[in-house]
Structure 1
Amino acid sequence: MEDFFISSMQEYGYIILFFWSILEGESGLVMAGLFSHTGDMQLFIAIFVAGLGGFAGDQIYFYIGRFNKSYVHRTLKKQRRKFALAHLLLKKHGWPIIFLQRYLYGLRTIIPIAIGLTGYSAKKYAVINLFAAWCWAALIIIPVWYFGNEILGVIKWAKTHWYYALPLIGLLIGVAYYYLHTITEKTLKTKVDQK
């Protein structure tokens, strides 16, 4: 399975990276950084393609909000607090929130939809979104490319010592999820209560 995955990435890497980035997958960017480190991808082409994918994904969400308002309100009722927070963030911070949306846990897809629901300029959103997507791709791919030997060493160690690594990884993911979920919920509650 691993050999199939690696050969697929080597042959169709940029296409896979583009579609993976539409889904906002940092794991795809990590793989692109590692493949750039090993020479199976070109670093700047990987950043360019990943940025385009991230841009396309957020544009899709933006236009879902812009042209399907009743559908969004009907199907995403449970996300009302997050939409309220996204609107507050846009009002308070303006265009920088478009730049930062990819790093806000729990709001990554909500913010583009919420911006689409407003009268925000589609052209302005697209320009900011494109540059933000390329920055997002570069901020993840370049460090992975640079520290490729160290990351590959950890992966090699984890493959032979998986029985140690698996519980540790599970614990780290659980702690990170709990921490980020708690912070996001507290922020949402505070912002909505203030409104």
Structure 2
Amino acid sequence: MKELFRKIQPYSGKILTIILIVFFSFLIYNLYQAPVEGIEEKFIYLLKKYGYIILFAWGMLEGEAGLIMAGLLSHTGDMNLYIAIFVAGLGGFAGDQVYFYIGRFNKSYVHKKFKNQRRKFALAHLLLKKHGWPIIFIQRYMYGMRTVIPISIGLTRYSAKMFAFINLISAWCWAALTIVPVWYFGNEILVVLEWIKEHWYLAIPIAAIFGGSILYYINQTTKKVEKRGQNED
């Protein structure tokens, strides 16, 4: 079994890609075949029927939108809150484990594929060296570094078991910190969503301004961290 696992690990990235393609093809087919009218109703039907499977895949991609949806479904009773956190965390954990093993067993591929992101890899190595395991714990909240840090750690001799342990705890915390507030404030969020649905022409510019402000802030913060890392290097 261990020998089989070693043979599979170098191809983990390709295997993940194939699995995701098959999975989303399955979802699109079922979305089309859903026995309800309207795209919105079809999507809701799909979420209720395959909610935990979708949540796991969304967790692997570390998409907060899926966790927000899980929080709302938990609020309406279509999902169990604790199971949703557990499944979303497992998805996030699995995704980062794949990235870690891509770095661990595909070093030549990583150096070739990510040659334009050498600065980010250098920064990730610097942060790991300076701060240690807390970087693994908080990397999910570092815009532009979510994929780079697990791959970068895989390139080092960092313990795979320690990475997996910290990664699992971090993934469950990430899931809980996103899902629980949405579940708790579900009524208020549903009211806002209903307002957006009725006044979409006003919601679009507001969302664009708000989202743009967040992206600008994150981008500036990332640049400051990179500049600080270069100065310290």
TM-score (norm 1): 0.98
Q: Which amino acid in 2 is paired with 1:194?
A: E
Q: Indicate the RMSD between aligned Cα atoms, in angstroms.
A: 0.8
Identity %: 68
- Residue 12 of structure 1 pairs with residue 50 of structure 2: yes
Cross-structure match for 1:169: 207
Cross-structure match for 2:221: 183
Q: Which amino acid in 2 is paired with 1:3?
A: E
Residues 6-45 of structure 1 aligned to structure 2 (within 5 Å): 6-45=44-83
- Residue 117 of structure 1 pairs with residue 155 of structure 2: yes
- 1:123 deviation in Å? 0.7
Number of positions where the alignment pairs a residue of Structure 1 with one of Structure 2: 195
Q: Which amino acid in 2 is paired with 1:127?
A: F
- 1:46 deviation in Å? 0.2
The separation in 1 between residues aligned to 2:125 and 2:153, in whole angstroms, is: 7
The separation in 1 between residues aligned to 2:88 and 2:100, in whole angstroms, is: 18
Q: Which amino acid in 2 is paired with 1:66?
A: R
Deviations 1:42-99 (A, max 9, x none): 0000000000000000000000100111111111111111111111111111111111
Q: Does 1 or 2 have the higher relative contact order (CA < 8 Å, sep 6+)?
A: 1
- Residue 57 of structure 1 pairs with residue 103 of structure 2: no
1:129 alignment partner, one of 158, 161, 167: 167
The separation in 2 between residues aligned to 1:5 and 1:94, in whole angstroms, is: 42
- 1:178 deviation in Å? 1.7
Q: Which amino acid in 2 is paired with 1:4?
A: K
The separation in 1 between residues aligned to 2:123 and 2:214, in whole angstroms, is: 22
Structure 2: 5+ residue runs without aligned partners?
1-38
- 1:176 deviation in Å? 1.3
Structure 1: 5+ residue runs without aligned partners?
none
Q: Which amino acid in 2 is paired with 1:112?
A: P
Residues 64-143 of structure 1 aligned to structure 2 (within 5 Å): 64-143=102-181
Deviations 1:1-27 (A, max 9, x none): 110110000000000000011001000
Q: Which runs of 4+ in 1 moved over 2 A?
A: none
The separation in 1 between residues aligned to 2:196 and 2:128, in whole angstroms, is: 42
- 1:189 deviation in Å? 2.4
Cross-structure match for 2:231: 193
TM-score (norm 2): 0.82
Q: Which amino acid in 1 is paired with 2:147?
A: T
